Amino acid sequence: MKRSGKISVIAIIVLMLALPNLLIAGETLDSVKKKGFVTVGVNGSLFGFGQPDEKGAWKGLDVDTGRAIASAVFGDASKVKFIPLTAVQRFTALQSGEIDVLCRNATRTLSRDTAMGLNFATVNYYDGQGFMVSKKLGIKSAKELDGATICVLPGTTTEQNAADFFRSHGLKWKPVVIEQTSELAKAFFAGRCVCLTSDASQLAGTRAVSPNPDDYMILPDIISKEPLAPAVRHGDDQWRDIVDFAVLAMINAEELEITSQNVDDMLKSKNPKIQRFLGVTEGNGKSLGLDEKFAYNIIKQVGNYGEVFERNVGVNTPLGIERGLNALWTDGGLMYSPPFK
Amino acid sequence: MALKQLPASKNTSFWQDPDKRSIIYQVFTLGTVLMIGYYLFSNVQANLERQSIATGFGFLDKEAAFEIGESMINYSAADTYTKALFVGILNTLKVSFIGIILTVFLGTVIGVARLSSNWLIAKAAAIYIEVLQDIPILLQLFLWYAIFYQFFPSPHQALNPVDGVFICNRGLVFGIPESHPAHTYMLIALLIAGIGIFFLRRWAGKRQAETGKIFPLFSVSLLLVILLPLAAWFAGGAPTAMNTPELRGFNFTGGLNVSPEFTALLMGLVLYTAAFVAEIVRAGIQSVNHGQTEAAMSIGLKQGKILNLVILPQALRVIIPPLTSQLLNLTKNSSLAVAIGFPDFVAVTNTTINQTGQAIEGIAMIMAVYLIISLSTSVYMNWYNQKSKLVER
């Protein structure tokens, strides 16, 4: 597994070396239309965000974000190809043009936005890093973890956050860093580490698929801000706008109370906001270089943000995550869309 | 003779002179390679600049801000990337160095066992070689690692076979002597013993050549290696304090902790490579004609002397070149460490690449480091090969 990973990183670099002028601003949409599908980088082994189910169908919040982009571009949510990437591979894959957009629970940070040559669209999940421990330990807070061995995924902000947290509290710890999420989880559940640290949503996902979910708990400490957002290459503003408004359309739909069920009825709505949003009043689609019905297609085929959230990670799924920060701004959350006009 | 009489230079055209032609070919090839290299380099530069991705090695001086699980030197998250990468290189060297020594030893034993006249031993060695050669090393690493964390108990129920030694899923923990200046003296004494043995060997060889008398080199050397450090230990005040491991909180503190990751990696690499080395050793020994052994026996040499003076010097010539490539393989395979969580150079560089986003610089450093390690191993083995060559008179 790792070997193929390393080879693909090298292959990507070779591509970067060899392909002349592969990426020119404004060209992503053209090339996507030409090949007929959107290539989306996803996690691949994260339940609730990006993982194929037992029948091989891709499921997850990030996967649905990818589908929303495909609906916006082609009016067809199935015109999308998912590429599973490790944390280490993901940005290189995007930089080199192997994928068109990265929807892989990636945290937006200053250095990624600048030195890595990426642009992040609207946040599709507000997360924070937490700790998962066995209930048997009887620990109440992460500050009691002095001297602990902790399992960490490499190549994420997680490694750095954990180091910062323990440094600032003057605690000693020892990381065990394994590249594959599945291998890391196996080592943790077998007792190699006292604690597993990652974004709280990932911990919930890992716990949900563990042999005995009830033996483990997520500590209340959230030690970082992790705004997870889709990312695109720097320099193609049009493509960035499309990805941005694909996410925003789902949020805006929830605010306007448009769902995949009632979207057809809403086409007849007298509300000018809804008419503009669904493309009954034309203009929005043209500005983005898309079909006027792009928002309608997203909502019809994928659903609004609330539907997508509840379907993949909400309280009625094995993950059982509350809306919290991810509720609409009108409900005390952070999800807020600029007007579609 | 006829060839020499041809008027070679005057009337031959430029194209028909093989010497000049070969020079042109070489210049042309070199030029093409350089041009392709320049094209690739400038293309990367242009691509990176257009995507505004940072380039250069400036990040090396920045704070790394991540922890490394095991380190031979003092390292903390507040140190620079340079130091973090250095920790990675040391870890790679550590596992490769110990791995190479164990592999050569184990490979030789199994190779000899394969030729044993004892049916059971020979077959057991053959099965070992066949099985371990044929399973991909990555799977073997996962297996050893899984055995460690699945079967050994947690630190609180750690196995305690001997006083002061604990085995648990956090690794093997045992006591080490408390640090004391006497240990430095012992190390110096060991060094002196080594130098002494070197000169003793030269002197003994010379004396044997002149007078035919054999000096008991092995026993005297052994005595030197043991006695000199022992004397230094007494001279330093004979410290006996031990730094014993103690269960405090989640883990053992004090003593020396050999992590499951390191052990699994070392075991995987050694057991896998030893299977190949065993075959090389067997082939080397079989390449020496049996008549040599019989001749040595007929002049009354003892079994050990036959192996040391007749068989091995001839077998080594066959063994060393393929052995070199196996040892290089071991070093390179150590980069699979990242799969089971040992912080080797590749693992540390991966984290660095991800935090800084500078993949090309990172991969370039990985290539440079492995190239340097491999070339140095190669140079040493070539020197040893030259030395063990048949001296023709």
Q: Which string of DSSP letters, residue by residue, matches A263-310? A: HHHHTT---HHHHHHTTSS-SHHHHHTS-TTHHHHHHHHT--HHHHHH
Listed in sequence order, the DSSP H helices in B2-118 are 2-5, 18-50, 81-114
Are residues A120 and A242 part of one domain? yes
Q: Least CB-CB distance to B249: which of A18, A146, A235?
A: A146
Among positive and negative, which fits the CA dihedral B268, B93, A197, A53?
Answer: negative
Would residue B43 count as lying in a domain? no
How confident is the prediction for chain B on average, in pLDDT? 87
- Confidence at residue B216, expressed as pLDDT on a 0 to 100 scale: 84
A336 part of a folded domain: no
What radius of gyration, in Å, describes the C-alpha atoms of chain A? 20
| Residue B313 at interface with chain A, using a CB cutoff of 8 Å | no
Nearest beta carbon to residue A2 from set B51, B78, B336:
B336
- What is the mean pLDDT of the segment spanning B318-323? 90
**B330 and B214 part of one domain:** no
Q: What chain B residue is nearest to A154 in terms of C-alpha separation?
A: B351
Q: Which of A199, A224, A249 is the last residue of a domain?
A: A224
- Report the pLDDT value the prediction gives residue B14, as an integer from 0 to 100: 74
Torsion angle of alpha carbons B188, B190, B193, B194, nearest 10°?
A: -100
> What is the pLDDT, as a whole number, of residue A2?
40
Residue A210, classed as helix, strand or coil, is coil
B249 touches chain A (CB under 8 A): yes
Which of A95, A115, A175 lies at the smallest CB-CB distance from B356? A115
- Work out whether strand A148-152 and strand A173-177 pair parallel, antiparallel, or are unpaired: parallel
Q: Is the pLDDT of residue B1 over 70?
A: no
Which domain range does residue B207 map to? 179-240
Residue A10's closest CA among B367, B24, B379, B122?
Answer: B367
Range B29-38 average pLDDT: 93
Asked whether residue A303 falls in the same domain as residue A261, the answer is yes
Number of domains in chain A: 2
Given this model, what pLDDT does residue A1 score? 37
Chain A residues whose CB is inside 8 A of the B40 CB are: 17-18
Q: Are A16 and B47 inside 8 Å of each other by CB?
A: yes
Task: Classify residue B46: in a domain, yes or no.
Answer: no
Q: How far is A119 from chain B (nearest CA, A)?
A: 10
DSSP codes, B201-251 = HHHHHHHHHHH-PPP-HHHHHHHHHHHHHHHHHHHTT----EE--EEETTE
3-state helix, strand, coil in chain B (%, to 5): 70, 5, 25
Over its length of 341 residues, how does chain A's per-residue pLDDT go in tens digits? 344 455 555 655 665 555 444 445 458 999 999 999 999 999 988 889 999 999 999 999 999 999 999 999 999 999 999 999 987 788 889 988 899 999 998 999 888 888 888 999 999 999 999 999 999 888 889 889 888 899 987 766 788 899 999 999 999 898 998 888 888 888 899 888 999 998 888 888 888 888 888 899 999 889 999 999 999 998 889 999 999 999 999 999 999 999 999 999 999 999 999 999 999 999 999 999 999 999 999 999 999 999 999 999 999 998 889 898 999 999 999 999 999 98
Digit-coded pLDDT (tens) for A175-201: 998 888 888 888 899 888 999 998 888
Q: Say if residue A78 is in the same domain as residue A26.
A: yes
Q: Does B357 touch chain A (CB under 8 A)?
A: yes
| Pair A146, A280 in one domain | no
Q: Please judge whether B360 and A16 are an interchain contact, meaning their C-beta atoms are less than 8 angstroms apart.
A: yes
pLDDT score at A320: 87
Give a yes or no: residue A337 inside a domain.
no
Q: Is B66 part of the contact surface with chain A (CB cutoff 8 Å)?
A: yes
* Within-domain flag for B289: no
Structural domain for A73, as ranges: 2-126+228-331
Residue B127 has pLDDT above 60, yes or no: yes
Measured between alpha carbons, how far is B334 from B266 in angstroms, rounded to an integer? Answer: 8
Q: Is residue A146 part of a domain?
A: yes
| Cross-strand bridge partners of residue B177 | B242
Are residue B333 and residue B213 in the same domain, yes or no? no
Cα B235 from Cα A175, distance rounded (Å): 41
Contact B250 A147 (CB under 8 A): yes
Last residue of a domain, one of A224, A252, A273: A224
What local confidence, expressed as pLDDT, does residue A3 receive? Answer: 44
Would the pLDDT of B279 be above 70? yes
| Mean predicted confidence (pLDDT) in B25-40 | 92
Residue A119 dihedral angles phi and psi, to the nearest 5° = -130, 135
End-to-end CA distance of chain A: 47
What span, in angstroms and rounded, lies between the C-alpha atoms of B29 and B155?
Answer: 62
Q: Do the domain assignments include residue A338? A: no
Average pLDDT over residues B333-339: 91
The position carrying tokens 């000169």 is: B199
**B32 pLDDT above the threshold of 60:** yes
Is B64 domain-assigned?
no
Q: Is the ipTM of this complex over 0.90?
A: no
What pLDDT, on the 0 to 100 scale, is given for residue A22?
A: 47
pLDDT at B172: 84
User: Of the candidates A224, A256, A285, which is a domain's last residue?
Assistant: A224
Residue B9 domain flag = no
Are A53 and A173 in a shared domain?
no
| Predicted local distance difference test score (pLDDT) of residue A77 | 95
Q: Does B313 or A261 have the greater pLDDT score? A: A261
Q: Could you give the CA distance from residue A110 to residue A112 in angstroms, rounded to a whole number?
A: 6
Query: How many Å apart are CA A308 and CA A319, to the nearest integer?
Result: 14
Here the CATH number for the domain that contains residue A289 is 3.40.190.10
CB A202 within 8 A of CB A46: yes
pLDDT surpassing 50 at residue B267 = yes
- How does pLDDT run across A245-298, given as a tens digit for each residue? 999 999 999 999 999 999 999 999 999 999 999 999 999 999 999 999 999 999
pLDDT value of position B6:
54
Asked whether residue A41 falls in the same domain as residue A6, the answer is yes
Domains: count for chain B? 2
Listed in sequence order, the DSSP H helices in A19-78 are: 28-35, 61-74
The answer on B263 and B114 residing in a single domain is yes
Question: Which H helix or E strand runs over A230?
Answer: none
Residues A172, A278, single domain; the answer is no
Nearest CB among B40, B341, B353 relative to A176 is that of B341
Gap from B263 CA to chain A (nearest CA, Å): 14
Check whether residue A255 and residue A159 sit in a common domain: no
CA distances from A229 to A32, A46, A130 (A): 20, 16, 19
C-alpha separations of B272 from A289, B105, B331, B380 in Å = 58, 13, 12, 23
Q: Amino acid identity, residue A285?
A: G
Same domain, A189 and A93: no
Same domain, B266 and B149: yes
A125: which residues sit within 8 A by CB, 6+ positions away? A49, A61, A105, A201, A228, A326
